[in-house]
């Protein structure tokens, strides 16, 4: 940080004018040199005003976004294959408003990298141009947790395995038109490296790009385990907070608050681990966690892990978790608080009422496990559901029996959950007093 230089011009000027200590304005008569202003009788160096730096289009060479100015996204900004975008700690990036083709977003294409690691003292902030946050601040004052859809979001695409329904190994990411090649994700490299992301807060996004199609706060498509992601916040996004389409990346210390759809959404056989997460439901919302398994015939064996978290509804709306579409993996040591609907497990059937592969069969077979979790004040911890009238009456009892020995409980108050100290002082959610 540049040191602030002070000059005692005030004393000289006051003496020369014969003023006394009773004069109400200590800067009366003080003349400061260029680049300085009087504060309490002392000339203090003033940093020059720097206009927002507007960025748009393709980034095809390495570039650094510095912390001494605000970067303004005009439409979709794409970091292309071979290029690295570095963002300094404390930097602020603001997306312009707009929908459809005019929606603003930052996209890290396959083969590109982002190195954006802030600190607890200097988080990197993605927000809207409507946010009155200034350089050196961690939060503005004019937008609330219900101010959503003010810009797009951040998308990172890699070469790690996915199980897509169409292209099987590769797909076109949600939120990007099908004719745009920079929206391709997925591949064969489980350890693919898309860079680093830490102490990053993403706020007030989710712009609509088409009917029923909004941008997630953080979209990870085919992102590999060589990528480092930790201390991430998504707040007030219209669609999902974080959505993983396949991939193997591990994510630590995540907070998602007041999203319009799902907080954590995994699809296409995401097989990484998400650890220490804190979810706050409030306002119009859907699921705390929405979990789908493989869609295609390739990369069908990987399993997700959600370890140590708190999923909390502040108003009783939404459901804690929706386990569906061949979901396979483990949810462990998670506290679900404040819901009327807790974990839902999907069962599907063919037209002749024979079972189709779905989350229920994986739960009964041991490929989908919920263990060591607390469903606070719940009547039913989990319930089988189906869109089909074929659902047998014994499926609910079968599910309960399958998980009976897993140590799940229904306490009056949570004793487990996320370590919220990981989110203190730097996250918008903590600064606004929303963490309980």
Are residue 152 and residue 94 in the same domain, yes or no? yes
- Whether pTM > 0.95 for this model: the answer is no
Are residue 220 and residue 102 in the same domain, yes or no? yes
Instruction: Fill in the DSSP letter of residue 434.
Output: -
Instruction: Fill in the DSSP letter of residue 11.
Output: H
Per-residue confidence band for 2, with pLDDT thresholds at 50, 70 and 90: very low
Are residue 169 and residue 36 in the same domain, yes or no? no
Q: State the average pLDDT over residues 31-43.
A: 70
The per-residue pLDDT of the chain, averaged, comes to: 90
Residue 330 has pLDDT above 90, yes or no: yes
Are residue 203 and residue 320 in the same domain, yes or no? yes
For residue 421, give the 3-state DSSP assignment: helix
Provide the CA 436 distance to its chain's centre, in angstroms: 19
Are residue 31 and residue 164 in the same domain, yes or no? no
Are residue 38 and residue 123 in the same domain, yes or no? no
**Parent domain of 15:** 6-45
Residue 409 has pLDDT above 70, yes or no: yes
Are residue 67 and residue 33 in the same domain, yes or no? no
Are residue 271 and residue 292 in the same domain, yes or no? yes
Number of domains making up the chain: 2
Q: Give domain status of residue 202, yes or no.
A: yes
Residue-wise pLDDT for 103-145, tens only, equals: 999 999 999 999 999 999 999 999 999 999 999 999 999 999 9
Are residue 174 and residue 255 in the same domain, yes or no? yes
At CA 91, angle to CA 88 and CA 94, rounded to 5? 135
> Which of 9-13, 265-269, 288-292 is predicted least confidently?
9-13
Q: Give domain status of residue 109, yes or no.
A: yes
Are residue 17 and residue 91 in the same domain, yes or no? no
Query: What's the pLDDT score for residue 211?
Result: 61
Dump the DSSP string for 94-151. Answer: EEPP--GGG--EEEE-TT-EEEEE--SSS-EEEEETT----TT-S--SS--TT---SS
Query: What's the pLDDT score for residue 51?
Result: 77
Are residue 196 and residue 232 in the same domain, yes or no? yes
Tokens 């009238």 identify what position? 389
Are residue 272 and residue 320 in the same domain, yes or no? yes
């Amino acid at each position: 940080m540049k040191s602030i230089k002070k000059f005692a011009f005030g004393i000289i000027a006051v003496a020369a004018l014969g003023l006394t200590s009773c004069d109400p304005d200590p800067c009366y008569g003080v003349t400061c040199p260029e680049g300085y202003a009087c504060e309490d009788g002392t000339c203090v160096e003033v940093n020059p005003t720097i206009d927002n730096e507007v960025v748009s289009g393709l980034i095809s060479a390495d570039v650094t976004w510095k912390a001494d100015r605000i970067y303004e996204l005009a439409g979709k900004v794409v970091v292309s294959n071979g290029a690295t975008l570095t963002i300094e700690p404390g930097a602020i990036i603001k997306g312009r408003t707009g929908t459809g083709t005019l929606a603003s977003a930052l996209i890290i294409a396959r083969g590109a990298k982002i190195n954006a690691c802030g600190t607890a003292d200097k988080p990197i902030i993605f927000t809207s141009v409507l946010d009155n946050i200034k350089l050196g601040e961690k939060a503005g004052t004019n937008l609330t947790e219900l101010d959503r859809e003010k810009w797009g979001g951040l998308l990172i695409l890699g070469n790690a395995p996915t199980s897509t329904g169409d292209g099987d190994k590769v797909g076109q990411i949600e939120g990007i038109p099908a004719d745009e090649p920079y929206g391709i994700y997925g591949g064969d490299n489980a350890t693919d490296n898309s860079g680093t992301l830490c102490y990053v807060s993403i706020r007030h996004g989710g712009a609509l790009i088409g009917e029923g199609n909004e941008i997630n706060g953080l979209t990870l498509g085919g992102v590999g385990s060589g990528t480092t992601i930790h201390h991430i916040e998504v707040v007030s996004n219209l669609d999902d907070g974080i959505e993983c389409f396949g991939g193997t990346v591990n994510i630590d210390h995540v907070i998602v608050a007041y999203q319009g759809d799902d907080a954590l959404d995994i699809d296409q056989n995401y097989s990484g681990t998400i650890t220490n997460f804190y979810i706050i439901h409030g306002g119009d919302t859907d699921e705390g966690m929405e979990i789908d398994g493989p869609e295609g015939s390739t990369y069908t064996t990987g399993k997700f892990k959600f370890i140590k978290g708190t999923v909390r509804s502040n108003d009783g709306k939404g459901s804690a978790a929706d386990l569906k579409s061949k979901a396979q993996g483990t949810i462990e040591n998670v506290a679900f608080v404040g819901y009327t609907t807790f974990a839902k497990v999907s069962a599907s059937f063919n037209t002749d009422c024979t079972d189709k592969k779905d989350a229920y069969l994986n739960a009964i077979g041991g490929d989908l496990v919920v263990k060591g979790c607390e469903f606070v004040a719940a009547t039913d911890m989990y319930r089988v559901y189906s869109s089909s009238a074929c659902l047998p009456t014994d499926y609910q009892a079968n599910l309960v029996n399958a998980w009976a020995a897993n140590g799940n409980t229904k306490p009056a108050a949570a004793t487990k959950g996320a370590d919220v100290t990981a989110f203190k002082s730097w996250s918008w959610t903590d600064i606004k007093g929303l963490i309980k």
